[in-house]
Structure 1
Amino acid sequence: MAKQRLMNILLSAGLGLSLMFGGILPSAALDVEAQQQAESSVKGFGTENRNWVTEKETLNQERYAVKVEENVEIEVRDGTLIRGRLLLPEGLEGPLPTIVQLNGYGHGEYGNSFEGMLIDLAERGYAVLHVSLRGSGTSEGEAGLYNSFGEDGYDVIEWAADQAWSNGNVGTTGLSLLGISQWLAAKELPPSLKAISPIVACTNCYDTLWNPGGMESGPGRVARGYEYEVAKEHRNYDEWWQERSLSTEELEAIAESGVAAFISGGWNDYISPGNIEAYELYSAAGGTSKLIVSPGSHAYLSGVMPYEFEDYQALWFDRYLKGEENGVEKRDSVLIYVQGANQWRYETAWPLADTNYVDLFFSDKKSKSIDSLNDGSLTDKEPNKKRSSASYSYSPEDGPFLPSLLSSSGRLPINQQPYEEETVTWTTDALAVPTEVTGNMSATFWAEVDAEDADFVVQVTDVAPDGTSKQVVAGYLNASRAESQTTPVPLTPGDVEEYTVEILPTSYVFKKGHRIRVSIAGGAKALEGQPAPQGPGLNPTASTVEIYQDADYPSSIQLPLIGVGGLITTKANARAIEKSSEKGLVGAGK
């Protein structure tokens, strides 16, 4: 019964699918895919000389057989027994650097899908402890949504550090829920914790996972059953959520304590934006940290360059748990996969240090690229009209909706144009050069709503010359929680208010001849049959929304451009390319 319940949870989250079926394509299919990807790859103009990764590196380490000890018991502070499994490398004298995995699904049988990375680390010479958090697996206590993850994590880490087989230096690893548990344990500042490796995780899961942008929980969360029943009792970001999240100050405290954070995720994952934001805050606080972002979805990272992910993680733990001077900290701290260029690249910081933030304003000039409700344009010129706006009416039954929800396998590979036609859109002219957008985007616009609440779904797409439109990224905002997710304020119908929608981070190259489009709708909805859709739910309030685009109320989207100082959109702008080069706005000199 317990095993079936666990499998249902995994499947409803999409995690089970990605773990069980991810990465099992036949090698021939992978070769064809890699070849097609290479043939279609193009670097953004002005980025050709950046620090691209071109060669694979290997890490050759001595391997050991693994001894397994079952039914390890740890009594935490309230007397609850936490149980787990200990993996020790045979033939290696202790005490040993120690890895702990805090598993809210239960540690399961030896060799399960959560344990491959742990076995790998034990083979490399680590003592590894894999435990079921309270109420899961064979552990005592009552399970709940992140219930006691911090306190129990602290107690397990300190217990492990005090064992004869441990040298007192403890690290943690794990993905998704097993990454969230790491952040919550680190929040308690266990003195023996020296390094963490949260994979596809979040530090504020209210905003990232359960209520994106303050919106309702979506179908992927509703499918979580009892967890959703608990979460919906806390619709706002109240004290209950704050106990289960990390504030900026708490991240700064972890950084100050010296924990070395190896943070990773995927551009096409629904939780990773929370990890990327955590890295931004952690590194800004001076924390020892590295960020790796793959093109992947909700799964372990694969295909990382120059090292495979497991090797990179081992180098990190070797440096901060064993004290080996292997130079991993001397490499640039950010490693990203640039989609479109389809290649890995090192950067010194996130956001990228030489980002050119460009505002593109909403205009009522027709783009002639789509038959949407308004077919507006995106331009670098501020509007000068006295009055101009675009409007749509929303209902939870009829939309308009955008199919922006992510699946367990990532973004939907569909043409978004038929759905965009039901919304308000703004589209650039065709690009004269391939253009890289890497970083955090945001849309700031003035809107009038005739109801006390509304949602804004903002989607950015790549429009090909044939008119097909592919989702790049999206962002979400509940209007009544725009100022505070703790204390929502009902809208005053008829008032014109300014809203900023934070669009999730990405790294993407738009090809020459393609266009960039922004669509705004009142809701996001899964497609019929879409597996494990993740993202927000629907606002129950019907509304009519008017978005302004005039001199008094200029609305815009901010793009983080790399390599160019502005959007170069026609062949007539050839001189603009030269001027960008002359001003040093093209390239990074790296």
Structure 2
Amino acid sequence: MAESETLVCRNIDIPMRDGIVLSSDLYVGDDATEPRPVVLVRTPYNRAMLAPRFDLRPFVDRGYAVMFQDVRGTGQSQGVLTPLMNEADDGADTIAWLVAQSWCNGQVGTTGPSYMGGVQLQLAVRPVPGHETAFIQVPAANMFSIGMVHDGDVLALETAAPWALMMAATTMDRFPPDVIARIRADMTSLEVPSMALLEGDALVAFLRGHSPRTLPVARHVPFWHDWLDNRENPSFFDPAETNSRLSAATRPLMHFAGWYDLFLRNALNSYAGITAHGATPEARAGQRLIVGPWSHVSNPRFRQFPDSDVNDAAASAAWMDLHFRGEANPAFDHRVTLYVMGENRWRAEPDWPRRDAVPTRFYLDSHGNANGVDGDGVLSTDATGADRPADRYRADPADPVISLGGHGVSGGPVDQQPNAARRDILVYTTAPLGEDVEVTGNIRATIHAASSATDTDWFVKLIDVFPDGEAYNIVNGGARARYRVSRTEPVALTPGDVVAYDIDLHATSNVFKKGHRIRLEISSSDFPNADLNPNAFIDLSEATPNDYVVAEQAIFHDAARPSFVELPIIPAAAERHWIDTPFPPGPGDQAYSKYHSEIGNRPLRQIELGALAG
């Protein structure tokens, strides 16, 4: 018999409740005769381009149909793109249409990463008949606080701006002719090679000198202005918010994340929240979590980790088999599966976070000269009893600390040495470790700080320093002074006032090996991961270089005003259940974040939808 084919039904129109029609393609194996489960992938990235990069084989070989759908306002679907704001209703309407088809057996699962993960999470915390499970990868959701638009207090410029530019370029045919002309004029004038996910020096050069409001191309996109107008208004983003809805979840879900991914906290929060408070016993017992050492996109300049590649298509298909066919897989026996960096292997955990973690404070100390890697900053578990002088530096928005890695859309683990000598970075480092120190869990820092400005930012970064001097970022976070009392009601900073800031540094699992050192860095900019603070209590979206103020900054670490990072340390004697790599890719298989075009999919043969009638 000739090589098996995959059958495709193209340009299926699915009506939404408001009359908008979304366009979809359906893929099935060439033995499609009986009603079958459907795996749904909803994307803003043009289904015709995405499908060839998606490994269909694990799904069609198991008898699933796979539907790719252009979300509202993208590809061939009607409507206007308002990112993540219509996806709960549109996803529910699509599933209702699917379960009514004779070739569907009434069971629908969902899969896909990033935006495609966010649309799943929105469904998973709402009652959607027919939606039985999901393989939710690095889900974009909670735009007011996590990653895609705002990362905590700051505008996630490195993520939000390139995404807005990319979507403007791919959807501008929806705009009026005069707006299209202005977008094209901006694109022609730009000295960058492409709108698609600008990064590195090209992104820095593009963003510098513009206020967020006047950013070329983005300034013509309505949703960009919506994002800026609602910096302090969480209710605007409520349709995409999921954290307050976790207790409504009723079904088993796989949460798939990366330690350096911008949406890590969405996965961790969802797993923990549904496990603790889900609406049904099946939901509470049925959550699973896999976290690898991944960034949102792969990059050869990132620190590399052995045995970390996972075939996420195979994992997703196996998850569907478990819930649609009752076929167990030992990988899902573990509630939580983590890649422990430094140790560089996988481990099964009973839960997240580990209950045996010991919160341990590492205190900042110096004699007032912690500026740069050659300063006298020390990080120690011993709290100082002395009246140490504050460490001081000048923060100039016109000369910001340039981001090296992090957890933005192009972030990852990067050697921090290029920034190490800057005088506007305070550096606190332990002595070489006499034994391995494992840090697994959520991390927070408390700093006591003062500024001469009426507004400013504080960024904190935890770093693993190798014996040869290489220094890789582990986690980072920031606080914006105007939001020290309330994110929704900003208050100007009184110059000179000392304020305690509690800063979320996200989460990790990393073993700082014997001979390594633990380092904490503090600065007042992380550009372009975060938008620049002009060091003035003005409209942040309108600020230009003419508004920039050089601020005199001080970090206190005396007995009355200690500054520290609290690390969840796993005792050396604690039980550890090491396991093999889950779903390791074989030759020709995909690995998460390393997609490549035409990944082994079989020949396609187009058929009409009516040929699938069950």
- Give the TM-score category using the shorter length: 0.7 to 0.9
State the distance in 1 between where 2:435 and 2:294 align. 26
Shift of 1:118: 4.2
Partner of 1:79: 19
Matched, 1:235 2:231: yes
CA drift at 1:387: 5.3
Counterparts in 2 of 1:493 and 1:300: CA distance versus 1, 3 Å? closer
Task: Return the alpha-carbon distance in structure 2 between the equivalents of residues 467 and 200 of structure 1.
Answer: 32
Equivalent residues in 2 for 1:382-393 (5 A)? 382-386=383-387, 388-393=389-394
1:303, 1:133 → 2: CA distance?
36
Name 1:312's counterpart in structure 2.
315
Q: Is the 8 A contact 1:417 1:469 kept in 2?
A: no
Letter in structure 1 aligned against 2:150 = N
Aligned residues: 491
**Cα distance in structure 1, aligned partners of 2:346 and 2:357:** 18
**C-alpha separation in 1, matches of 2:152 and 2:499:** 17
Structure-2 change in CA distance of 1:192 and 1:131 (3 Å): same
**For residue 9 of structure 2, what is the amino acid of its counterpart?**
E
- Are residue 108 (structure 1) and residue 45 (structure 2) matched? no
Q: How far apart, in 2, do the equivalents of 1:414 and 1:449 lie? A: 25
Match of 2:565 in 1: 557
If the length of structure 2 is used for normalisation, what is the TM-score? 0.74
**Distance apart, 1:261 and its partner CA:** 1.2
- 1:397 Cα deviation after fit: 0.6
Per the alignment, do residues 315 and 494 of structure 1 end up closer, same or farther by CA in structure 2, a change over 3 Å counting? same
Residue 588 of structure 1 aligns with an amino acid whose one-letter code is E
List per-residue Cα deviations over 1:306-329 (Å, max 9, x = no partner).
Answer: 97433332222112233x141558
Match of 2:146 among 208, 224, 229: 208
Which of 404, 418, 421 is 2:420 aligned to?
418
Structure-2 change in CA distance of 1:401 and 1:134 (3 Å)? closer
**What is aligned with 1:221?**
160
The 8 Å contact of residues 366 and 388 in structure 2, kept in 1 or not, is answered as: no
Q: Is the 8 A contact 2:58 2:317 kept in 1?
A: no
Q: Distance in 2 between matches of 1:129 and 1:201?
A: 19
- Name which of 245, 248, 272 aligns with 2:264: 272
Cα deviation 1:441-481 (Å, max 9, x = unaligned): 11012222232221111111122334342222211222222
The CA deviation string for residues 470-498 of structure 1, in whole angstroms up to 9 with x for no partner, is: 22221122222244333323223332221
Q: State the alpha-carbon separation in 1 of the partners of residues 76 and 58 from structure 2.
A: 24
The partner residue of 1:438 within 433, 437, 440 is 440
Deviations 1:94-121 (A, max 9, x none): 22122111112231258432xx244531
Is the contact made by 1:196 and 1:261 (CA closer than 8 Å) also made in structure 2?
yes
> Does the Cα contact within 8 Å between 1:187 and 1:251 map onto a contact in 2?
yes
Q: Which position in structure 2 is the counterpart of 1:33?
A: none
Q: Which residue number in structure 2 is paired with residue 27 of structure 1?
A: none
1:410 Cα deviation after fit: 2.7
Root-mean-square deviation (CA), in Å? Answer: 2.8
1:565-580 aligned at under 5 Å gives the runs none
1:538 maps to 532
Of 486-495 and 347-356, more deviation after overlay is shown by 486-495
Between the aligned partners of 1:366 and 1:432, the Cα distance in structure 2 is 27
Please give the alpha-carbon distance, in whole angstroms, between the structure 2 residues aligned to 1:492 and 1:305: 48
Pick from 575, 580, 589 the counterpart of residue 588 of structure 1: 575
Is contact 1:66–1:123 with CA below 8 Å preserved after alignment?
no
Q: Aligned pair 1:252/2:253, yes or no? A: no
Structure 1 window deviating more from structure 2 (422-431 vs 386-395): it is 386-395
Change (3 A) 1:481 1:327: same
Question: Match of 1:298?
Answer: 296
Task: Provide the C-alpha distance between the structure 1 equivalents of 2:230 and 2:451, rounded to a whole number of angstroms.
Answer: 26
Q: Secondary structure at the match of 1:382?
A: coil
1:135 to 73, 77, 84: 73
Residue in 1 that maps onto 2:254: 262
Which consecutive residues of structure 1, in runs of 5 or more, have no partner in the other structure?
1-62, 527-534, 565-585
AA paired with 1:280?
A
Distance 1:307 1:105 in 2: 23
Contact conserved, 1:84 with 1:131, CA < 8 A, in 2?
yes
Equivalent pair of 1:208/1:271 in contact (CA under 8 Å): yes
* 2:523 equivalent in structure 1: 521
Partner of 2:204: none
Aligned-pair CA distance for 1:303:
8.6
Which residue number in structure 1 is paired with residue 127 of structure 2? 189
1:295-444 alignment runs, 5 A limit:
295-299=293-297, 308-322=311-325, 324-326=326-328, 331-364=333-366, 371-372=372-373, 375-386=376-387, 388-400=389-401, 403-405=404-406, 406=408, 408=410, 410-416=412-418, 418-419=420-421, 421-444=423-446
Q: Is the 1:463–1:517 Cα contact (8 Å) retained in structure 2? A: yes
Which whole-Å CA distance do the structure 1 matches of 2:401 and 2:297 have between them?
31
The gaps in structure 2 that reach 5 residues or longer are 166-220, 279-283, 300-304, 536-548, 578-614
Go from structure 1 to structure 2 and tell me whether the alpha carbon gap of 1:151 and 1:407 turns closer, same or farther (over 3 Å shift). closer
Q: Over residues 226-264 of structure 1, what are the superposed CA-to-partner deviations in whole Å (9 max), with x where a residue is unaligned?
A: 34343222222421112222133x01112xx2x211111
State how far apart, in whole Å, the 2-side matches of 1:211 and 1:373 are. 34
- Percent of aligned pairs with the same amino acid: 28
Match of 2:194 in 1: none
Q: 1:293 to 1:197 in 2, by over 3 A?
A: same
Q: Which amino acid aligns with 1:86?
A: L
Question: CA, structure 1 residues 260+472, in 2 after alignment: closer, same or farther (shift >3 Å)?
Answer: same
**In structure 1, distance between residues paired with 2:374 and 2:532:** 21
Work out whether residues 417 and 468 of structure 1, in 8 Å CA contact, stay in contact via their aligned partners in 2: no
The TM-score, its normalising length taken from structure 1, stands at 0.77
CA contact (8 A) 1:403 1:419 kept: no
Instruction: Provide, for residues 264-286 of structure 1, a one-character-per-residue CA deviation record: whole Å limited to 9, x for no partner.
Output: 12223233333233223222325
Q: Which residue of 1 aligns with 2:178?
A: none
Aligned partners of 2:475 and 2:505 also within 8 Å: yes
Contact 2:417 2:470 in 1 (8 A): yes
| CA gap 1:418/1:378 in 2 versus in 1, 3 angstroms | closer
Give a deviation string over 1:320-343, Cα, whole Å, max 9, x none: 233x14155861111111112211
CA contact (8 A) 1:436 1:507 kept: yes
Q: Contact 1:153/1:181 (CA < 8 Å) preserved in 2?
A: yes
Structure 1 residue 347: Cα displacement: 0.9
Q: Aligned partners of 1:329, 1:157: CA distance in 2, in Å?
A: 28
Cα distance in 2 for residues equivalent to 1:180 and 1:277:
13
- Quick check: 1:435–1:511 contact (8 Å CA) kept in 2? yes
Of the candidates 22, 28, 47, which is equivalent to residue 88 of structure 1?
A: 28
Secondary structure at the residue paired with 1:156? helix
Residues 303 and 515 (structure 1), Cα distance of their counterparts in 2 relative to 1, 3 Å cut? closer
Matches within 5 A, 1:415-494: 415-416=417-418, 418-419=420-421, 421-494=423-496
> Is 1:146 the counterpart of 2:149 in the alignment?
no
Structure 2 distance, partners of 1:465, 1:421, is 23
Question: Against the structure 1 CA distance between its residues 65 and 357, is the aligned structure 2 distance closer, same or farther, given a 3 Å change threshold?
Answer: farther
In structure 2, what residue type is equivalent to 1:240?
Answer: F
